[in-house]
Amino acid sequence: MTSSFILASASPRREQLLRETGLRFDVVPSDVNEDFRRGEVPVEYVERLSREKCHAVSRTMPNAWVLGADTIVLVGSEVLGKPRSREEARKMLMKLSGREHRVITGFAIENKSSRVMVCGAVESTVVFKTIEKDELEWYISTPEPYDKAGGYAVQGMAGYFVREIHGSYSNVVGLPLTEVVTALKNVGAVTF
């Protein structure tokens, strides 16, 4: 497989997932405002942010294929962001404990000079076991929860909390590989 594109993301998890497929790409993180807009639903939000991340990089590199993505975690209708403190991580994980939640990742692929923009979103459902108090305190004392939506890494130590996943595992990590690589192939950014 050959490719040459730009990942517009600072996420080490997205980079690692893509590298493990054998894809070649550069990483150029984009800096966009991640606030929800009034009336915006979660799928619209992640797709919009993905497009904005692409646009931010495409402006300076119009001939490149650019991939942007954004992931959110929802419990009911509540969006869980990245915890900024131990207390926020504790509260988030207590909300996830013993419950089902959704992980939605939006992605966009753009080539500005070709006027191509493709975007989509993938949803997975995750069910956590009931997290015991000692397990919770152990986990939030590690660095793992603090740069991840929902305060956990399914591919890390928090894998222990996951009872079931329905849908794409790589989506829960941060990038739905099947859908993204297929889209990259369909627009000609990746060849086999």
According to DSSP, the β-strands at 78-80 and 25-27 are unpaired
| Residue 148 DSSP label | S
**Spatial contact of 154 and 162, defined as CB atoms under 8 Å apart:** yes
Of the residues 26, 31, 35, 70, only one is catalytic, namely: 70
According to DSSP, the β-strands at 100-111 and 65-75 are antiparallel
In angstroms, the CA 175 to CA 170 distance is 6
Distant-in-sequence, close-in-space partners of 116: CB < 8 Å, separation ≥ 6 = 109, 110, 187
**Spatial contact of 103 and 72, defined as CB atoms under 8 Å apart:** yes
Q: Helix 86-96 and helix 133-140: axis angle, to 10°?
A: 140
Residue with tokens 């956590």: 128
Q: Is 70 a catalytic residue?
A: yes
Per DSSP, helices labelled H in 21-168 are 42-58, 86-96, 133-140
- Residues classed as catalytic: 70
